[in-house]
Amino acid sequence: MHTVVVGTSGVTASDVLAVARDGARVELSGEAVAALAAAREIVDALAAKPDPVYGVSTGFGALATRHISRELRTQLQRNIVRSHAAGMGPRVEREVVRALMFLRLKTVCSGHTGVRPEVAQTMADLLNAGITPVVHEYGSLGCSGDLAPLSHCALTLMGEGEAEGPDGVVRPAAELLAEHGIQPVELREKEGLALLNGTDGMLGMLVMALADLDRLYKSADITAALSLEGLLGTDKVLAPELHAIRPHPGQGASAANMLAVLKGSGLTGHHQDDAPRVQDAYSVRCAPQVAGAGRDTVAHARLVAERELASAVDNPVVLPDGRVESNGNFHGAPVAYVLDFLAIAAADLASIAERRTDRLLDKNRNHGLPPFLADDAGVDSGLMIAQYTQAALVSEMKRLAVPASADSIPSSAMQEDHVSMGWSAARKLRTAVDNLTRVIAVELYAATRAIELREGLTPAPASQAVIEAARAAGVGGPGADRFLAPDLAAADAFVRDGRLVAAAESVTGPLQ
């Protein structure tokens, strides 16, 4: 099994995906263990002094003015975890919790948190044992970190609360730790706070969304090209020289992808109706501009994610000169903004795909195809309601595009009086990405049927490869009405697991 080694300088997006989705093992580097020990010596020295230090010998948040005596500090750290593990609602996905735990371990290993090496090792042991704390949907405001979600993870480290074992069964955490020979940790000065104070949940969801969107933007370029063929559109608008004079990188990449898919097509440019088109509709002609703008948004979000992956997010932090300083680096604004931005871009990509689908089904605009691509229109309804489903998905995505980060709600007796709502932005983006996958699947379903109904015209080799792969995957072709949900589910799976992109790339080579 692949092993990810965590050092002091952060991790990569591929590391996060390997641990969160693929179950990769985690190891601490020698450098990280040394940095952990050195930072802990600083915290221990400060803890021995009579002067109050936030997070070491004081209460937290609005209660930071109270100096805590040494005999109560273990109880203080235990209590902060118990009291902050206050999430509610359904459980979040296993991959999200694994990303959350791994990214908290990344910051711990930076040597800026003051956590003992044995605590960090126990965090790695939990991940390697496949033990996943139960984390709930609601509880994070995205400031002072994802407090409630991280607290539920820290609770499992203490052998308390509930967690899911590698068999998928939720059981008491103490039982799971005992079964795997993991000793629960007893937290010391600053450790409870250090385990709770980060942007790890929202960052993990951002990293996974970026990976999914990379696949979906390629998928959308492919389905846009298929729709262009089905509508007998022109590929002249994809010429590189046209996109060179408006040099947005994403736009150029999308146009190049569409052109690669359409290479050798016998359908482009055929106008079968009585009024030849001078131009195709915006949803066809402007596909690279819309998808390209989204691609550039993804690129910006990736830059933010890379910076955050290299960061040590905690409060207070241990500095190399021995100071332990309060700071605001836990605020989730940088991550929250791009999470919201991605939801806007995803909604627009879905919206333009739905417009192309609607055009394929409308006999007044589809240039000679049957109404709703039905076999016997009137007796058959064809894909009429598939487009309804797609429209419902797009409508929800527009609601999800309303930014969470524009909101703030004060907490902790007005000490934490401006928050990022980044966790909420991440949760709605996950739904938007899921819905975008389904929207692209419906366009695929309609466009492949439309191409097959163009008798006597030969699609591009890449398009033909997609059609053949889709049919082999259970995505049905033209014919009389049938139970449509299984076909749409097959199309969804075909897009979701990357087979759509793989089929096109079997002819085009790697797409951008």
- Concatenating the DSSP letter of every residue in 415-480 gives TB-----HHHHHHHHHHHHHHHHHHHHHHHHHHHHHHHHSTT-PPPHHHHHHHHHHHHTT---SSS
What backbone torsions phi and psi does residue 27 show, to the nearest 5 degrees? -130, 150
Structure tokens at 427: 């949760």
Q: Nearest CA to 197 among 332, 36, 335, 338?
A: 332
Residue 337 designated active-site: no
Q: Nearest CA to 231 among 131, 357, 366?
A: 366
What backbone torsions phi and psi does residue 376 show, to the nearest 5 degrees? -140, 85
Are 113 and 206 in contact, with CB atoms under 8 Å apart? no
Name residue 162's beta-bridge partners: 172
- Convert 47-63 to b/e letters by CB count within 10 Å (16 or more is b): beeeeebbbbbbbbbee
Which residues have C-beta within 8 Å of that of residue 364, sequence separation ≥ 6? Answer: none
Which residues have C-beta within 8 Å of that of residue 281, sequence separation ≥ 6? Answer: 355, 359, 365
CA separation, residue 397 to residues 75, 219, 342, 400 (Å): 45, 18, 11, 5
In 68-138, the DSSP E strands lie at 88-91, 132-133, 136-138
Which residues have C-beta within 8 Å of that of residue 128, sequence separation ≥ 6? Answer: 25, 26
The rounded distance, in Å, linking the Cα atoms of 284 and 234 is 9
Catalytic residue, from 54, 217, 337, 445: name it.
54
Are 318 and 38 in contact, with CB atoms under 8 Å apart? no
Neighbours of 115 (CB within 10 A): 31
The rounded distance, in Å, linking the Cα atoms of 421 and 12 is 24
**What amino acid positions are annotated as catalytic residues?**
54
